[in-house]
């Protein structure tokens, strides 16, 4: 059996499409869907009124970070494999089928790639896609990786029994921290490009900038405790001072290079998106600097 867990907060514009995609899977064997929701919008009513009676819907009284919500879902889950998706994502029709097939391998953790679910003319949303998912684009080979985000990843239940749960203090990088510790303890993560979801991104420019700044801040805080690329910058204030002015350009060049190689049409058809991306990366670096010289959530 496979358990699907979707954390949700104020998802009234996306939850129905997400759940529709999960209900209409090609997978014919038993699976369950668990939504852990802390919304104050119409999300509970939408779930109740749209024929989703077979879904386990857990509503929390206060806003809850996704990592903690996933932990609550894990406590309710019955499956031997636990798959995660976000409430602003749409799963491909064969999503579960591909996950189950991948779990027949020696890997205990498998995940896949992320498509952009927004209209390509939405430049703010496209900039969000460029900024956050360059390492998880379609068209990649099947391979071992250090991390896959929790909008499209699955774990055998034994992973949580052996290694514990997500730490919500590190949102929105709690999955990165969790997967880092898995790697340190000998677990391998398989990226299978046939496992696909499409992700909706923020269309508000101010929301995009605020989110980029938040990601930058928590990223540098996390790099203080995990030994990943860029750790040397945050662990030595001198290196931080030297590299911070260059980081927006470095990230911009690397991001654009990856997309031109794997999905060139996204940029070639909408070159103005690079302006939005550049501004977003400056906010990411602003947050990154706050994380370096501020207190870690650890």
Q: Per the structure block, which two tokens stand in for 163? A: 């290694």
Per-residue pLDDT averaged across 262-272, rounded?
93
Is the per-residue pLDDT at 296 higher than 60? no
Is the per-residue pLDDT at 167 higher than 80? yes
pLDDT in tens, 7-57: 999 999 999 999 999 999 999 999 999 999 999 999 999 999 887 878 999
Question: pLDDT class for 246, splitting at 50, 70, 90?
Answer: confident
Q: Sort strands 153-156 and 81-84 into parallel, antiparallel or unpaired.
A: antiparallel
Q: Measured between alpha carbons, how far is 186 from 3 in angstroms, rounded to an integer? A: 24
Peptide bond into 221 cis (omega under 30): no
Quick one: CA torsion of 14, 167, 284, 210, rounded to 10 degrees? 50
Residues 5/32, Cβ–Cβ less than 8 Å: no
Identify the pLDDT of residue 258. 94
For residue 46, the SS3 value is: helix
Residues 264/293, Cβ–Cβ less than 8 Å: no
Whole-number mean pLDDT of the chain? 93
Residues 7/87, Cβ–Cβ less than 8 Å: yes
Per-residue pLDDT averaged across 114-121, rounded?
91
Is the per-residue pLDDT at 240 higher than 80? no
Query: Could you tell me how far CA 230 lies from the centroid of its own chain?
Result: 20
Q: Measured between alpha carbons, how far is 85 from 122 in angstroms, rounded to an integer? A: 23
DSSP per residue, 230-297: THHHHH-HHHHHHHGGGHHHHHHHHHHHHHHHH-HHHHHS-TTHHHHHHHHHHHHHHHHHHHHHS---
Is the per-residue pLDDT at 297 higher than 60? no
Q: How many other C-beta atoms lie within 10 A of the C-beta of residue 275? A: 11
Q: Measured between alpha carbons, how far is 49 from 43 in angstroms, rounded to an integer? A: 10
Question: pLDDT class for 123, splitting at 50, 70, 90?
Answer: very high
Ordered by where they begin, the domains of the chain are: 2-118+136-199 (3.90.550.10), 205-293 (no CATH)
Tell me the Ramachandran region of residue 10: left when phi exceeds 0, alpha when psi lies from -120 to 50, beta otherwise.
left
Per-residue pLDDT averaged across 139-146, rounded?
93
For residue 29, the SS3 value is: coil
pLDDT in tens, 64-116: 999 999 999 999 999 999 999 999 999 999 999 999 999 998 999 999 999 99
Task: Give percent of the chain with pLDDT exceeding 90.
Answer: 80
Helix or strand holding residue 215 (H, E)? helix 205-223
Q: Per the structure block, which two tokens stand in for 43? A: 């999300």
Partners of 155 in beta bridges:
82, 109
Q: Which residue has the higher pLDDT, 296 or 266?
A: 266
Task: Give percent of the chain with pLDDT exceeding 70.
Answer: 98
Question: pLDDT class for 295, splitting at 50, 70, 90?
Answer: low
């Amino acid at each position: 059996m496979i358990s699907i867990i979707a954390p949700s907060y104020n998802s009234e514009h996306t939850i129905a499409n997400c759940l529709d995609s999960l209900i209409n899977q090609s997978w014919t064997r038993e699976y369950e869907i668990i939504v852990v929701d802390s919304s104050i919008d119409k999300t509970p009513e939408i779930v109740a009124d749209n024929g989703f009676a077979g879904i386990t819907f857990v509503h929390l009284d206060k806003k809850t970070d996704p990592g903690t919500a996933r932990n609550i879902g894990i406590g309710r889950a019955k499956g031997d494999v636990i798959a995660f998706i976000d409430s602003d994502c749409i799963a491909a029709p064969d999503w579960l089928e591909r996950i189950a097939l991948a779990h027949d391998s020696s890997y205990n953790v498998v995940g896949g790639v992320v498509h952009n679910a927004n209209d390509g003319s939405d430049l703010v949303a496209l900039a969000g896609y460029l900024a956050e998912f360059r390492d998880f684009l379609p068209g990649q080979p099947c391979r071992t990786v250090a991390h896959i985000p929790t909008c499209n990843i699955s774990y055998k239940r034994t992973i949580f029994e052996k290694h514990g749960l997500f730490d919500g203090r590190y949102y929105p990088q709690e999955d990165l921290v969790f997967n880092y510790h898995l790697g340190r303890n000998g677990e391998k993560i398989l990226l299978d490009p046939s496992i696909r979801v499409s992700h909706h991104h923020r269309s508000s420019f101010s929301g995009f900038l605020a989110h980029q700044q938040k990601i930058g801040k928590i990223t540098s805080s996390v790099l203080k405790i995990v030994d990943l690329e860029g750790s040397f910058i945050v662990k030595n204030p001198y290196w931080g001072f030297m590299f911070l002015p260059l980081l927006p350009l470095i990230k911009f060049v690397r991001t654009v290079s990856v997309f031109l190689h794997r999905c060139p049409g996204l940029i070639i058809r909408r070159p103005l998106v690079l302006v939005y991306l550049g501004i977003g990366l400056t906010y990411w670096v602003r947050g990154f600097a706050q994380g370096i010289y501020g207190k870690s959530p650890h």
